[in-house]
Amino acid sequence: MALRFLTSSDMSIDIVVTCDDAVECTEEQRSQYLETGELGALDVVRDDATRFNIKALSPAEREQAEANAGALTRSELGRLLWSEAPNDTTERAKWHHDLDDDERVAMSEYQQYLNRVYVEMIRAALVSIDGEPADVDQLQMIRPEPARIQTISELVLHIQRISLLGIEGK
């Protein structure tokens, strides 16, 4: 990792999402694009691809996004369990199966908090879509549902990449 982020929260970049019909790429190219943000990593990006303009978050904007999502009332037990959960899908399912009911509720509440953080991050970072001022509520109208979820996920990854150092970097 080196300089794959923006130093100023006044700067913004254009990105596309890989579930766009005007974008063609392999799974490997998709991973590389999400990691670097370089359009050249993708196989085909046609001119009619939807361009999202996003900016890097400042510390104050990140804090505000977390506060709006309910950072002060989030479940600390859920956060702890979330950090302890195994990465492997099967192991994670077995681990979750053994949790008590209140622990499952705490995990679920923390997952909901994370989802709200993602939406609030996009609200703070999304500048425009195809040159027109945009809001996160417009993303909620994307259909079909898998495309909406993937668009939000990819936007969050790009915002994190340009705003924050990755986990590996800390």
Partner 1 sequence: MITAASVWLGHAGGRSWSCDQCRDKKGLRALRGNCGGPFREDLPQSRRDDRGVFVPAYRIAPDCDETFSEYEFRSCPVAGVNQLAPLIGAYNRHRSGLYPLSHAYPSPSCALIDVMETLESNRNSATLRAQKRMIDESKS
* Tokens linked to 166: 């990755």
Nearer to partner 1, 20 or 55 (CB): 55
Nearer to partner 1, 2 or 72 (CB): 2
* Tokens linked to 116: 């709200």
Q: How far is the CB of 165 from partner 1 (least distance, A)?
A: 5
Q: How far is the CB of 60 from partner 1 (least distance, A)?
A: 9
Q: Which residues bind partner 1 (CB under 8 A)?
A: 1-3, 5-11, 56-59, 62, 162-165, 168-170
How many angstroms from the chain centroid is the CA of residue 24? 21
26 CB contacts (<8 Å, ≥6 apart)? 43
Nearer to partner 1, 143 or 170 (CB): 170
> How crowded is the C-beta side of 9, counted as CA atoms within 13 Å?
12
Q: Return d(Cα 14, Cα 168) in angstroms, integer.
A: 25
Nearer to partner 1, 7 or 73 (CB): 7
Nearer to partner 1, 66 or 103 (CB): 66
Q: How far is the CB of 13 from partner 1 (least distance, A)?
A: 12
Q: Return d(Cα 56, Cα 62) in angstroms, integer.
A: 10
CB contact at 8 A, 152 and 119 = yes
Q: What are phi and psi of 77, to 5 degrees?
A: -65, -40
Q: How far is the CB of 46 from partner 1 (least distance, A)?
A: 30
Q: How far is the CB of 21 from partner 1 (least distance, A)?
A: 32
Cα dihedral 59, 62, 66, 67, rounded to 10, equals 60
